[in-house]
Amino acid sequence: MSEKRDDFLNHLIGSPFASLGVGRIGVAVSGGGDSMALLCLVTDWAKENGAVISAVTVDHGLRPEAAAEAAGVAAFCAARRTPHEVLRWDGWDGKGNVQSAARAARYRLIAGWAKANDVEAVCLGHTRDDQAETFLMRLARKAGSDGLRGMADTFEREGVQWLRPLLQADREDLRGYLRRQDVAWVEDPSNEDRRFDRVKARQAMAALGPLGIDAGVLSAVAQNLSGENALIRETVRNALAGQVEAHMGALCCGETVFAALHPEIRRRFLMAAVQWIGGGDYKPRLSAVSELETALQQGDAHTVGGVIGWVSKGRVWLAREYERVREARGTPFDGRWQIDGVTLRQEEGRENGQEIRALGPNGLQQLGNWRDLGLPRRALLPLPAVWEGENLVCAPLLDAPIAGLGVKATDLRPSFDKWLMQH
């Protein structure tokens, strides 16, 4: 039986790499049972298939044991001659949802590591149990099929491809595999902390067992909803095809087109647009989107999640709110625009060092001819620009005012069309 389970796990690992043709693979490893099993399985697959593998661990600095656990992963990787790096996060300010902040930081740090090391895809150790727990958590939030369809086995974030090859594997199967491989793992004490929703969901699973509702059942339901949700998303994308235009991170469509959309398609368009433009990890609240929809139908301006919508000259526009990026600095600008070709001078006491910040009203004034671009002022204000003191050096997305500097702005997010299907 154990041999069959191991064969099943090895099959799960090989499937995504074969279909994607990935040759340089990264593995996110915390030291827990799921990620350690993932590391071992991917390492064995890579050796047999000539792929290059490297591992990364994020030390969030939230527990005293975290540094020792990261060191343990490093020692394990060294013994197996697998390149490994520890990334440290010290950005927690004690406010808000610690797990949400840590998760966002983890994706951001690992994405930076992947790009720096030419890693084509990063593997995550989420299991069928995680899928079921996520289903329950989202059910408690009254999610529709978008949320209940479960976690995707592949997705893009922070300009990086991510894979979850073990979504059909059980947590206990992975621990059994580790025992047979004589590989140790650590247990995060937060997995027993009832302050966290995931722990509550895990305990609720045990209570649902007598009804025949287990991780396998909930995972299957999520998969069924995923298929139905894909059809909905395809319908939305087809309805918006050729009707919605993207301009440097902003979106627009005809006012009459917007009004004629089916209410569910219009709602989904606005929810996707706000998340795509604003970069939020989660979709905006339905009530907030309803307020935005009402305002646009009445020809008024309204903001949701750092995104402003308005009507101008017969067109509905959605763009990043300038006030949200007014104080933003550096690259990736606003977590979205990767700016290359700029040498940032940061010598102490230098007042005219170059920096990256929003174009803003001052930048538009220096551009002078911005109206010739045919884009609304609100859509231009939040764009990244290179400054030297109060002097505009260039606006890379507009290629102005000085061409030939070699400055380039790359959008780290997928196209809106692709975003509609993935998110």
Task: Identify the band that residue 221 occupies on the pLDDT scale cut at 50, 70 and 90.
Answer: very high
Residue 161: Cβ within 10 Å count: 17
CA–CA separation, 120 vs 113, rounded Å? 11
pLDDT, tens digit (0-9, with 9 covering 90-100), for 31-44: 999 999 999 999 99
Q: Is the pLDDT of residue 259 over 90?
A: yes
Give the per-residue pLDDT at 1: 55
The SS3 assignment for 227 reads helix
CA–CA separation, 284 vs 270, rounded Å? 9
Contact 393, 387 (CB under 8 A): yes
| Paired tokens of 258 | 């917007």
Torsion of CA 112, 118, 119, 121, to 10 degrees: 90
What's this model's pTM, rounded to 2 decimal places? 0.76
Give the per-residue pLDDT at 192: 64
Give the per-residue pLDDT at 95: 62
Q: How much is the average pLDDT of 259-263?
A: 96
The answer for residues whose C-beta is within 8 angstroms of residue 311's C-beta and 6 or more apart is 255, 296, 299, 300, 301, 317
Degrees to nearest 5, angle at CA 295 with 293 and 299: 115
Which of 91, 90, 155, 101 has its CA nearest to residue 126? 155
Contact 133, 151 (CB under 8 A): no
pLDDT, tens digit (0-9, with 9 covering 90-100), for 92-140: 666 667 777 788 889 999 999 999 999 999 999 999 999 999 999 989 8
Contact 80, 109 (CB under 8 A): no
Contact 352, 392 (CB under 8 A): no
Give the per-residue pLDDT at 412: 85
Contact 39, 81 (CB under 8 A): no
pLDDT, tens digit (0-9, with 9 covering 90-100), for 393-409: 889 988 654 545 678 88
Token pair 């389970």 in the structure block, residue: 5
Least confident of 259-268, 300-309, 370-379: 370-379
